[in-house]
Amino acid sequence: MHIPDSFMPLSQALIYWAIALPFIFMSFRWARKDMDDMKIPILAALSAGIFAIQALNIPIGMGTSGHMVGAALVAIIFGSPFAGVLVLTLVLLVQGIVFADGGITVMGANILNMGVISGFVGYYSFVALRSKNIDIKISAFFGAWLGLFISSIATAIEMSIAGTFPLVPGLVAMGTFHFVIGIIGEGLITAIAIAAIAKARPDLVDSKITEDSKEALL
Amino acid sequence: MKLLYAGLAIALLISVLAPYLASSDPDGLESAAESVIDEERFAELEEADPAIDSPMPDYSIEGKGKLGEIVAISAGTIGILVISFGLAKVLKSNRSN
């Protein structure tokens, strides 16, 4: 879903930067508050893992492929959507500058879509499902799937405002492809990872997360 | 720190396998672009240069094939690890000042 520079006029790209920057700033504030010597290596390992898995495009049929984004996974593990924003910001920065994956001018939009939207939608859907006592794997699967799907819809709308995609066909195409990518690439991998981590380190992902975020929401 | 090594090991394993396993089909956005934009305009957008030149475009090193891709992705993985570790350390240590 990485938007290249040519897909958006500079003036609009700057607007998305202006929207993304406060979230990036708040993700730094989250790290300042939440990071400790135990969590720093976990954050670093997760960031590295997210970068690597984003390089692994999975075929989804229709001549299309997709990869995991990972913001929801990170947010669920750390109990904050800002953790997802922080990791995706770093990953997108390196992808854009070093590997020409996603443009530099449009990086604000990419951070907004993949970090903020998929992270927030994914995380709060997970929390909502968990608060209804739905199984942690199913909650993680659905949250991550919805996060990816909604961020693809947002991207389609941005592409239409940019004049690059026509609105309705753009929504249909982006929605269709990411409906499937979200199931395989995002939902399944997130659910498997959360289940594995919950088993190995229940202190990292368990009811505590949902309790904390309920408090944060109140 | 055990988690760091385990995470890094998994990440590096994926980095080495990715060049062999990753699909070369276009991603969701590119496929959408192909199907909703007319051909001429699509070619124009695809050929446009990015705003800056990247040292390893498309996760590869020119002329080095699969090995170059493994090196590029592994370098990115380790780079991200170092950057996120360093940033988290810096942000955290600021708190105690």
- The pLDDT score that the predictor gives to residue A212 is 54
* Partner B contacted by A43 (CB < 8 A): yes
Which of A208, A69, A71 is CA-nearest to residue A136?
A208
CA distance A4 to B26: 13
Residue A112 DSSP label: I
Which B residues 46-85 touch A at CB under 8 Å?
46, 48, 50-52, 54-59, 72-73, 76-85
Find the residue in B nearest to A182 (Cα).
B28
Residue-level length of chain B: 97
- The pLDDT score that the predictor gives to residue A209 is 55
- The pLDDT score that the predictor gives to residue A2 is 97
For residue range A38-68, list pLDDT tens digits in order.
899 999 999 999 999 999 999 999 999 999 9
* Subunit contact B3:A156, Cβ cutoff 8 A: no
- The pLDDT score that the predictor gives to residue B40 is 93
pLDDT category of residue A1 using cuts at 50, 70 and 90: very high
Which A residues 80-99 touch B at CB under 8 Å?
86-87, 90-91, 94-99
Domain A10-216: give its CATH code: 1.10.1760.20
Could you tell me the pTM of the whole model?
0.94
Q: Which residues of A touch B83 (CB under 8 A)?
A: 47, 90, 94
Contact in structure between A23 and A85 (CB atoms under 8 Å):
yes
Q: How far A130 CA sits from the closest chain B CA (Å)?
A: 25
* Subunit contact A45:B81, Cβ cutoff 8 A: yes
- The pLDDT score that the predictor gives to residue A39 is 92
Q: Which residues of A touch B37 (CB under 8 A)?
A: 164-165
- The pLDDT score that the predictor gives to residue A60 is 93
- The pLDDT score that the predictor gives to residue A205 is 78
Quick check: B97 pLDDT over 80? Answer: no
CA distance B90 to B88: 5
Residue B27 DSSP label: B
For residue range B21-36, list pLDDT tens digits in order.
999 999 999 999 999 9
Q: How far A132 CA sits from the closest chain B CA (Å)?
A: 30
For A129, the token pair is 């499902």
Parse chain A into domains and list their residue ranges: 10-216
Parse chain B into domains and list their residue ranges: 2-96
How many C-beta neighbours within 10 Å does residue B25 have?
18
% helix / strand / coil in chain B, to the nearest 5? 75, 0, 25
pLDDT category of residue A198 using cuts at 50, 70 and 90: confident
Complex confidence, ipTM: 0.94
* Partner B contacted by A1 (CB < 8 A): yes
* Partner B contacted by A161 (CB < 8 A): no
Which of A117, A108, A109, A118 is CA-nearest to residue A190?
A118
* Subunit contact A48:B77, Cβ cutoff 8 A: yes
For A98, the token pair is 């070093």
* Subunit contact B88:A105, Cβ cutoff 8 A: no
Size of interface A-B (CB pairs under 8 A): 205
